[in-house]
């Protein structure tokens, strides 16, 4: 059995992993799916939400486990798990980037996202510099995030989204070969992703190759739209790293 720590992306919370978490636990695995600061049920004020705070939250979860974990990051969560891996490489058996940003040393999320002209997120982004957060216009949410999801899953998720603090988008990530760089990395690409389109996923993979790439024919939210297929990917990583 393996231990999985599942990290959500921007605007979301640990709630997005509920079905995946339940399935993994039914199979006997240990699973944690925390809310990052300012997300889900966490009420950290926007001004205190930073990439550093995200990484510290993940490290606290890693430190509470009894064995090295399979650390999974979705979307923005790819930046977060990379930052955590630089701090706790010995606590991580493998990193899994689920249609996620895959940064190198010094990269920021906005640097990685800014070169793509096909994402549906940036054209629908509403930024409040004064309040320090960004939201996605209502009409852009389902096409960007939940295009292959059921109407009920999409509606439930939309109702739980929160404003996304800006600091983590612009904070650079530190990656050294001796720490985060030595942790095995896997990537799950999603062919119909309109938030982090396939071309952007593959350009990041070309710059930072992973041990193995899994391919899902689905949208940006396979924890709703392709649960069985995503489960298979995660279980394979757990098995590979247990051998």
Positions marked catalytic: 75
Distance separating alpha carbons of residues 69 and 50, to the nearest angstrom: 23
Which residue from 128, 152, 135, 50 is spatially nearest to 144, judged by alpha carbons? 135
Query: b/e for 231-243, b at 16 or more Cβ within 10 A?
Result: bebbbebbeebee
Distance separating alpha carbons of residues 96 and 106, to the nearest angstrom: 20
Distance separating alpha carbons of residues 118 and 97, to the nearest angstrom: 20
Six token digits for residue 110: 């906005």
Six token digits for residue 181: 């760089």
Inter-residue contact 190 to 219 (CB < 8 Å): yes
Which residue from 44, 3, 38 is spatially nearest to 24, judged by alpha carbons? 3
Q: Hey, what's the torsion of the CAs at 12, 214, 195, 154, to 10 degrees? A: -50
């Amino acid at each position: 059995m393996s231990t999985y720590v599942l990290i959500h992306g921007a605007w979301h919370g640990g709630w997005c992993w509920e079905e995946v978490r339940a399935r993994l636990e039914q199979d006997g695995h240990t699973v944690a799916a925390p809310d990052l600061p300012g997300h889900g049920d966490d009420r950290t004020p926007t001004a205190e939400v930073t990439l550093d705070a995200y990484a510290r939250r993940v490290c606290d979860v890693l430190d509470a486990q009894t064995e090295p974990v399979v650390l999974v990051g979705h979307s923005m969560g790819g930046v977060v798990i990379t930052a955590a891996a630089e701090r706790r490489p010995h606590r991580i058996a493998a990193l899994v980037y689920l249609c996620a940003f895959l940064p190198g040393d010094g990269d920021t999320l906005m640097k990685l996202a800014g070169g793509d002209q096909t994402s549906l997120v940036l054209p629908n982004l509403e930024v409040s510099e004064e309040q320090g957060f960004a939201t996605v216009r209502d009409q852009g949410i389902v096409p960007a995030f939940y295009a292959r999801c059921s109407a009920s899953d999409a509606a439930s998720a939309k109702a739980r989204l929160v404003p996304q603090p800006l600091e983590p988008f612009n904070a650079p990530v530190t990656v050294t070969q001796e720490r985060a760089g030595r942790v095995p990395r896997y990537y799950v690409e999603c062919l119909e992703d309109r938030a982090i389109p396939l071309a952007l996923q593959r350009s990041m993979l070309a710059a930072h190759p992973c041990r193995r790439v899994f391919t899902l024919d689905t949208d940006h939210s396979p924890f709703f739209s392709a649960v069985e297929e995503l489960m298979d990917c995660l279980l394979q990583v757990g098995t590979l790293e247990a051998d």
